[in-house]
């Protein structure tokens, strides 16, 4: 028999943990509703202009118990009310994943509740299915562009747990291209939101940057990043105040370039697969130029577009909880021998 043959289980409480990079996040969901979702960020990486893996895992160790405690308290439930423990298995930093996974396994064992492993990228895609007055739920099939600090993926979503990766970056992620450019400009880490802010006051067509060639619907941001570095170095040789006098236009032009590059393949996929539903996910989906252009595309191509609520764009445990909810319905549980996966295909 095909289709949804299982009986839907309701009033399910899932405690979810996400620790794949530098955010220690925990959430409690009742079915598709978030009862609590808290994230402890890590300021220490600002000093280094990027995430330092060893420091990230140490901070996860410090943060995980207080964050879980705070979430349980806010959700107003007891530990014994939890029906399953969800955790990010990968992709991510080994030490960071290990902290969340070890904690989740211990809790699963102590409470005698099933463990559900979640792929971080699957979490970003399924964040669209969290109940929220600020976001709509996409219809299947839809195209999801997942853009974050570590990933750039074009995913055809046929059902909650039935996805096909159509294209992805062959080197750096778009978030990395934002953050490294920000570092070159002397801005703090993570630089994506700062570029976004400065770009609002700048001219998006004043400067142009390199395009890179890839096969299929894949992306490449490494060359764009390097061309940006050379552009700034050359300009500084002619005018030592070039960056400070032109920062808004530099940010606006570079941001517009990255968004144009990322949306070019989106348009091709939508056309080739005759899709009318398009969603964006991941930290970079907070970018205002990307959001503006997605809205413009909605009108131009007569699409239905979906942009998640801001708190579910960047890394958070609620998205891990919602993915686990759909796995719980299928009794898709994991054993306690589960190891973290630095690379984990979707």
Nearer to ligand KG4 by C-beta: 107 or 324?
Answer: 324
Residue nearest to Zn ion (CB): 148
Handedness of CA 224, 227, 233, 238 (dihedral sign): negative
User: Looking at 103, 142, 178, 228, which residue binds ligand KG4 (CB under 6 A)?
Assistant: 178
Q: Does 123 bind ligand KG4 (CB under 6 A)?
A: no
* Total residues at interface with Zn ion (CB under 5 A): 2
Non-local CB neighbours of 282 within 8 Å, separated by 6+ positions? 124, 146, 147, 148, 151, 175, 313, 314
Shortest Cβ distance from residue 84 to ligand KG4 (Å)? Answer: 23
Q: Does 175 bind ligand KG4 (CB under 6 A)?
A: yes
Nearer to ligand KG4 by C-beta: 103 or 178?
Answer: 178
49: alpha, beta or left? (left if phi > 0; alpha if psi -120 to 50): left
Shortest Cβ distance from residue 262 to ligand KG4 (Å)? Answer: 11
Q: 141 near 278, Cβ under 8 Å?
A: no
Shortest Cβ distance from residue 178 to ligand KG4 (Å)? Answer: 5
Angstrom distance (rounded) from CA 80 to CA 67: 18
Query: Which residue do the tokens 């070039």 mark?
Result: 242
Residue nearest to ligand KG4 (CB): 283
User: Looking at 149, 308, 321, 340, which residue binds ligand KG4 (CB under 6 A)?
Assistant: 149
Q: Does 192 bind ligand KG4 (CB under 6 A)?
A: yes
Q: Which of residues 107-166 bind Zn ion (CB under 5 A)?
A: 148
Q: Does 90 bind ligand KG4 (CB under 6 A)?
A: no
What are φ and ψ of residue 312, in 5° steps? -100, 5
In angstroms, what CA-CA distances link 318 with 1, 27, 155? 32, 5, 20
Apex 26 CA angle, 21 and 29, nearest 5: 135
User: Looking at 22, 172, 249, 315, which residue binds Zn ion (CB under 5 A)?
Assistant: 315
Residue 91's binding partner out of Zn ion, ligand KG4, none, with CB under 5 to 8 Å set by partner kind: none
Non-local CB neighbours of 216 within 8 Å, separated by 6+ positions? 166, 167
Q: Does 168 bind Zn ion (CB under 5 A)?
A: no
Non-local CB neighbours of 158 within 8 Å, separated by 6+ positions? 140, 141, 164
* Total residues at interface with ligand KG4 (CB under 6 A): 19
Angstrom distance (rounded) from CA 144 to CA 124: 9
Q: Which of residues 9-68 bind Zn ion (CB under 5 A)?
A: none
- Structural tokens at position 188: 């703090």
Of 70-78, 211-219, 232-240, 279-287, the window that binds ligand KG4 (rule: CB under 6 A) is: 279-287
Q: Where do contacts with Zn ion occur on this chain (CB under 5 A)?
A: 148, 315
Interacting residue ranges for ligand KG4, rule: CB under 6 A: 21, 148-150, 175, 178-179, 190-193, 196, 282-284, 286-287, 314-315
């Amino acid at each position: 028999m095909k289709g949804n043959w299982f009986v839907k289980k309701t009033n399910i409480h899932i405690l979810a943990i996400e620790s794949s990079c530098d955010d220690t996040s925990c959430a409690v969901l009742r079915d598709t509703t978030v009862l609590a979702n808290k994230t402890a960020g890590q300021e220490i990486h600002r000093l280094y202009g990027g995430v330092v893996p060893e420091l990230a895992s140490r901070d996860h160790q410090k943060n995980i118990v207080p964050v879980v405690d705070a979430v349980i308290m806010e959700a107003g439930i007891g530990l014994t009310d939890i029906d399953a423990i969800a955790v990010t298995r990968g992709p991510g930093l080994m030490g960071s994943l290990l902290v969340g996974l070890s904690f989740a396994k211990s809790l699963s064992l102590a409470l005698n509740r099933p463990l559900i492993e979640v792929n971080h990228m699957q979490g970003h895609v399924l964040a669209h299915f969290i109940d929220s007055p600020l976001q709509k739920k996409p219809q299947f099939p839809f195209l999801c562009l997942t853009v974050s600090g570590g990933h750039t993926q074009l995913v055809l979503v046929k059902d909650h747990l039935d996805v096909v990766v159509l294209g992805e970056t062959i080197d750096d992620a778009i978030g990395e291209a934002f953050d490294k450019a920000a570092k070159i400009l002397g801005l703090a880490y993570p630089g994506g939101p700062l570029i976004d802010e400065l770009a609002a006051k700048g001219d998006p067509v004043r400067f142009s940057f390199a395009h890179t060639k890839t096969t299929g619907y894949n992306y490449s941001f490494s060359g764009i990043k390097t061309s940006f570095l050379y552009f700034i170095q050359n300009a500084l040789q002619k005018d030592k105040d070039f960056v400070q006098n032109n920062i808004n236009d530099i940010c606006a032009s570079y941001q517009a370039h990255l968004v144009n590059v990322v949306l070019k393949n989106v348009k091709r996929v939508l056309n080739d697969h005759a899709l009318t539903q398009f969603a964006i996910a991941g930290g970079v989906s907070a970018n205002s130029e990307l959001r503006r252009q997605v809205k413009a595309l909605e009108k131009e191509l007569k699409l239905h577009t979906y942009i998640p609520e801001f708190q579910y764009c960047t890394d958070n445990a609620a998205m891990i909880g919602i993915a686990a909810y759909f796995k719980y319905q299928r009794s898709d549980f994991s054993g306690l021998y589960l190891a973290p996966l630095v690379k984990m295909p979707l």
